[in-house]
Amino acid sequence: MKTHKDLDVWKLSRVFVSDIYKATVDFPKSENYGLTNQIRRSAVSVPSNIAEGSARQGNKEFIQFLYIALGSLAELETQLFLAMDLNYLKEVEELFKKLTRIRMMLLGLIKSIKRRI
């Protein structure tokens, strides 16, 4: 691997951030500093932590940041459920499919790196 930009999981999570921004654009204005902001920050955290981890010294640090990305993904999943509960989001099947795909890719990358340690 040369950089984080070579990782498919980083590429997919970047696209996912755009999907999340589009999905939250019509949330109530009263949520701009609430749920909308939280959802967007969680989404942005995923590719950001992949990138930061890949720039670290060793594989153990990289794995730590991949786990942080997984945590952000879990937060995001919970926030999307809350948005559904509040009827802010209706069509979420594709978002959850991408979220699950990113989770599986992160877990696969962690497993692959652990084998090399």
**pTM to 2 decimal places:** 0.95
Distance, CA of 21 to CA of 44 (rounded, Å): 10
pLDDT of residue 1: 64
Architecture of domain 4-116: Up-down Bundle (1.20)
pLDDT of residue 2: 81
**Can you give the residue ranges of every domain in the chain?**
4-116
Q: Alpha carbon of 23 to those of 30, 38, 61, 63, 73: distances in Å?
A: 16, 13, 32, 30, 16
pLDDT of residue 117: 84
Q: Per-residue pLDDT for 103 more than 70?
A: yes
pLDDT of residue 91: 85
